[in-house]
Amino acid sequence: MYELDEIVGYSYKVYLRDFAAFFSLALLTAPLQMLMGVLSQTFKSEAAASAISLLQFPQLFVSLVVAAGLVHEIHRGTGGERPSVTGGLDAAFERFGAVFKTTLLIFAMAFLAFFAAPFLAIYWLFNKDATIDGKRNWWLAIVPFALLMYLSIRWAFSTQAVMIQGKNNWAALDDSAAAVRGMWWRTFGIMLVVALIVIGPSMLAQLATFLPPLAAASIIAAVSALVLPFAIIAQTLLYYDLTTRQALAAANAVESAHTGADPTELPSASETETLK
């Protein structure tokens, strides 16, 4: 199991150890991003902006392939194998249908969640036993966008579920939700720190917009590709951590059922080491 500092530190180590493979994979997102950057700085009209925005669709496909390939190669790398660009692409294309359908499902559910909060409040009002993950968090129904944020974190590991566990669609969402269950705030906090680490270089890269369009687009795309593997490595390590903690909690509960001990009692260091 990992704490925040261990996740961040180990993510850097994993990235630097196989930097060439990870960065080369992430760099596949750069050409379309560069094209959009050059076009948006060159053509300022609303019609041009609308046409350029259509490039977001192929960029989404490329991003899904790259993210899936990175997750697969990170998993191989942490298992002692040597990551490679071709291995990541082969695995990503093989599982692309599952990744794409799962992503569409998440977008659809996120769209519904955007409007669902009032109905959730009404449902909970008339169903006293209704819960989400065993809790009645009223802030999900009251705070604007809270339900959308909650579900986004809950399903954040769907790509890991598809590429590592071989899940599809609802099974992938359920696998991610099971990993986060009972640890939503911890997951949110760690992902927020990782996001802040990634945002720093990305914001600095925006200073390049004062340069000529091609130079600016190249710098921004390169920096985006540079930080992407770190973010996905950290997220994958967090997924390992969460699933390990869930397995540990389940084993502890089973043991407690037999011994009559308190199931919330933390295991000894030796027991934790055994489950790592």
Please state the rounded mean pLDDT for residues 243-271: 70
- In eight-state DSSP terms, residue 211 is S
Question: Using CA atoms, how far apart are residues 194 and 207, in angstroms rounded to an integer?
Answer: 22
Per-residue model confidence (pLDDT) at position 146: 84
Q: Give which of 244, 270, 202 is closest to 7, Cα–Cα.
A: 244
Residue of higher predicted confidence among 263 and 194: 194
Domain tally for the chain?
1
Per-residue model confidence (pLDDT) at position 275: 39
Give the domain extent around 266. 4-275
Residue that is written with structure tokens 């590709």 in the block: 225
Q: E strands within the chain?
A: none
pLDDT digits over 107-158, tens only? 998 888 878 877 877 877 778 777 777 777 777 777 778 888 999 999 999 9
Per-residue model confidence (pLDDT) at position 47: 76
Question: Using CA atoms, how far apart are residues 220 and 212, in angstroms rounded to an integer?
Answer: 12
pLDDT digits over 159-208, tens only? 999 999 999 999 999 999 999 998 999 999 999 999 999 999 989 988 88
Query: In whole angstroms, how far apart are CA 196 and each of 16, 26, 199, 210?
Result: 20, 19, 5, 24
Question: Using CA atoms, how far apart are residues 119 and 112, in angstroms rounded to an integer?
Answer: 11
**Are the C-beta atoms of 26 and 18 separated by less than 8 Å?**
no
Question: Using CA atoms, how far apart are residues 223 and 204, in angstroms rounded to an integer?
Answer: 9
pLDDT digits over 48-103, tens only? 778 778 888 889 999 999 999 999 999 999 888 999 999 999 999 999 999 999 99
**Are the C-beta atoms of 34 and 55 separated by less than 8 Å?**
no
